[in-house]
Amino acid sequence: MRGFAAAAVGAIVVALLPFTLSGYHQGLATKVAVFLIAILGLDILTGYTGQISIGHGAFMALGGYTTAILSHDHHTNLILTLPLAFAITFACGIVVGIPALRFAGVYLALVTFALAVSVPQFALKFSKFSGGSNGISTSHSVTHTWLYAVSWGTAAVLYLGAWLLLRGRTGRAFRAVRDSELAAASAGVSLPIFKTLAFGVSAAYAGVAGSLFVLYVNGFAQPSCSRSRSSSERPSPVWARSGA
């Protein structure tokens, strides 16, 4: 009961907070929500199943490009791009998680690091869709208050989803895999299924965080390795243009 009361109080504070903040500080609070989602997904993978990943930035990039491309080329509603980014990065996480089953520890970390290095190169390779080194922008503009509400609303939904997932049978299986794979397998836990599932869910959370992060930087997605624009030429965050 105390946990629900604390959650209710926290929700009220988050809901009322933007009315007391400037546009700049709303932007900072939005950034907190974005990285809260990304860290929550990483905690499912590393904290609950014991798998190491240092390449989740790649999944954030995939989610960000999903939102940018769908908005720019198909004029998709920005909110609708979030579940699409979730689904796409979940599938990518499953694809990466299957071969990752053969690795553990530092070797798994190196595999995920290779993923993080390679994804920006894909963005440059398929410049017809991603805009290449020049990047791609969404076709919709948003206000800092809208982005704050969407980011924290999404964080609340995903937090609830993670809580429901981890408190049930799946969460117990994740913890069993983390504590001892041999004991988990002896108890009937399918290691390939649950380890791959954890990778997929974690990647999906990172993808949604990446989608929101693109909106945080004024709806602009660009490979991090690109040097085609100076920092002064990059678009400023949305609240920087709001007179805050």
Q: How far apart are CA 25 and CA 38, in angstroms?
A: 20
Can you say how many angstroms the Cα of residue 135 is from the centroid of all Cα atoms in its chain? Answer: 19
- Where are the domains positioned within the chain? 28-241
Number of C-beta neighbours around residue 15 at 10 A: 13
What is the average per-residue pLDDT within 194-198? 92
Tokens of 86: 């979730």
What is the average per-residue pLDDT within 66-89? 92
- Residue 120 is predicted with a pLDDT of 80
DSSP assignment of 135-186 equals -EE-S----HHHHHHHHHHHHHHHHHHHHHHHTSHHHHHHHHHHH-HHHHHH
Q: Which of residues 130 and 94 earns the better pLDDT score?
A: 94
Closest CA to 51 of 207, 198, 169, 170: 198
* CA triple 167-169-170, angle to 5 deg: 85
Lowest-pLDDT choice from 56-60, 167-171, 221-225 = 221-225
Can you say how many angstroms the Cα of residue 75 is from the centroid of all Cα atoms in its chain? Answer: 22
Number of C-beta neighbours around residue 10 at 10 A: 11
pTM, two decimals, is 0.86
* Helix locations, the chain, DSSP H: 2-16, 23-42, 48-49, 56-74, 78-100, 106-125, 127-130, 144-166, 169-179, 181-186, 191-216
